[in-house]
């Protein structure tokens, strides 16, 4: 515990200069059930910060509040120094908070290329119904498609993709708008063993210059990728630190590994 507290105070000292995301006392209750309970979290620029915890620990609820699809019951969220607690989800996305969903959310009826193009276009909204398309968005979609290395052809309809390709496309759509903060919710869940190495290689490449919040069940992957880890249990933070701290932490061993 002392190591965890020490890391936290260290983090607090760095915070003022380059904190990208700062969460204070974030709480969400559904009726009498408290899903997220007074969570503090501060993520400096460029960090890959993982949120782990047993099922029902409140990880996805926390993500929903950061992305803006869920309003917190209490607490504040600051992004790049501004309070965004009351800012709408779409506005947060345009400001650079991007999210890849655990259950892929695609535009199933349009092509792979168009999925990416629509994601690239979302940042600068045009309300002129007669405007022409920006070729830059096409180019960014094409570039992302090359990086993603999906098996499907660019003109394949997204609904027809394999699960692995859908997963990649989901992440690609979150990345193509060049976000400042990427929320990655279980990027490897449901991906076949054979497709995993390629996806991981792509992921590690894609997120090097990014600030990332990661929810992931694969503990090895989390320990390998993360700069810091926050452990949630029943909505509360029970531990925080770098991967070595977390592995050594007894409470984590009990709560998390036990609940596995």
Residues that bind another protein (CB under 8 A): 67, 69, 88-91, 93-94, 99, 101, 105-110, 114, 117-119, 121-123, 125-134, 137, 173, 177
Distance, CA of 29 to CA of 76 (rounded, Å): 15
Pick the closer one to another protein by CB: 41 or 106: 106
User: Taking the complex as a whole, how short is the minimal distance between the CB of residue 67 and another protein, in angstroms?
Assistant: 7
Residue 38 · residue 25 · CB < 8 Å:
yes
Instruction: Please name the residue ranges forming H helices in the chain.
Output: 2-18, 59-67, 89-95, 112-121, 135-148, 163-175, 196-206, 219-225, 243-248, 250-252
Pick the closer one to another protein by CB: 115 or 230: 115
**Backbone conformation region of residue 126, classed left if phi is above 0, alpha if psi is from -120 to 50, else beta:** beta
User: Taking the complex as a whole, how short is the minimal distance between the CB of residue 191 and another protein, in angstroms?
Assistant: 19
Strands 48-52 and 97-100, by their bridges, are unpaired
| Residue 62 in tokens | 């926390």
Q: Quick one: DSSP state of residue 6?
A: H
List % helix, strand, coil for the chain (3-state, nearest 5): 40, 25, 35
User: Taking the complex as a whole, how short is the minimal distance between the CB of residue 21 and another protein, in angstroms?
Assistant: 17
Pick the closer one to another protein by CB: 25 or 108: 108
Pick the closer one to another protein by CB: 7 or 189: 189
Q: How far is CA 19 from CA 33, 84, 177, in A?
A: 31, 14, 21
Pick the closer one to another protein by CB: 131 or 194: 131
Pick the closer one to another protein by CB: 2 or 125: 125
Pick the closer one to another protein by CB: 37 or 165: 165
What residues contact residue 9 under an 8 Å CB cut-off, 6+ apart?
Answer: none
User: Taking the complex as a whole, how short is the minimal distance between the CB of residue 226 and another protein, in angstroms?
Assistant: 24
What residues contact residue 190 under an 8 Å CB cut-off, 6+ apart?
Answer: 163, 167
User: Taking the complex as a whole, how short is the minimal distance between the CB of residue 86 and another protein, in angstroms?
Assistant: 15
User: Taking the complex as a whole, how short is the minimal distance between the CB of residue 115 and another protein, in angstroms?
Assistant: 9
Pick the closer one to another protein by CB: 49 or 117: 117
User: Taking the complex as a whole, how short is the minimal distance between the CB of residue 91 and another protein, in angstroms?
Assistant: 8
Instruction: Please name the residue ranges forming H helices in 149-206.
Output: 163-175, 196-206
User: Taking the complex as a whole, how short is the minimal distance between the CB of residue 244 and another protein, in angstroms?
Assistant: 34
């Amino acid at each position: 515990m002392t190591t965890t507290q020490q890391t936290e105070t260290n983090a607090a000292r760095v915070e003022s200069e380059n904190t990208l995301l700062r969460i204070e006392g974030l709480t969400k209750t559904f009726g009498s059930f408290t899903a997220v309970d007074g969570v503090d979290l501060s993520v400096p620029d460029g960090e890959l910060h993982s949120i782990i915890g047993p099922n029902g620990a409140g990880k996805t609820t926390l993500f929903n509040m950061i992305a803006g699809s869920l309003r917190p019951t209490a607490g504040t969220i600051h992004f790049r120094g501004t309070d965004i607690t009351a800012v709408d989800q779409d506005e947060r996305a345009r400001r650079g908070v991007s999210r890849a969903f655990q259950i892929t959310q695609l535009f199933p009826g349009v092509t792979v290329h168009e999925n990416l193009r629509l994601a690239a276009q979302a940042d600068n909204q045009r309300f002129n119904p007669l405007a022409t398309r920006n070729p830059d968005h096409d180019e960014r979609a094409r570039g992302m498609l090359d990086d993603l290395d999906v098996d499907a052809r660019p003109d394949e309809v997204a609904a027809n993709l394999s699960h692995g390709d859908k997963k990649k496309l989901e992440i690609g759509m979150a990345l193509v708008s060049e976000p400042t903060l990427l929320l990655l919710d279980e990027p490897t869940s449901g991906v076949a063993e054979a497709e995993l190495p390629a996806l991981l290689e792509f992921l590690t490449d894609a997120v090097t210059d990014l600030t990332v919040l990661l929810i992931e069940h694969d503990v090895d992957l989390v320990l390998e990728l993360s700069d810091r880890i926050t452990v949630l249990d029943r909505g509360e933070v029970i531990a925080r630190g770098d991967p070595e701290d977390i592995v050594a932490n007894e409470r984590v061993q009990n709560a998390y590994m036990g609940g596995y």
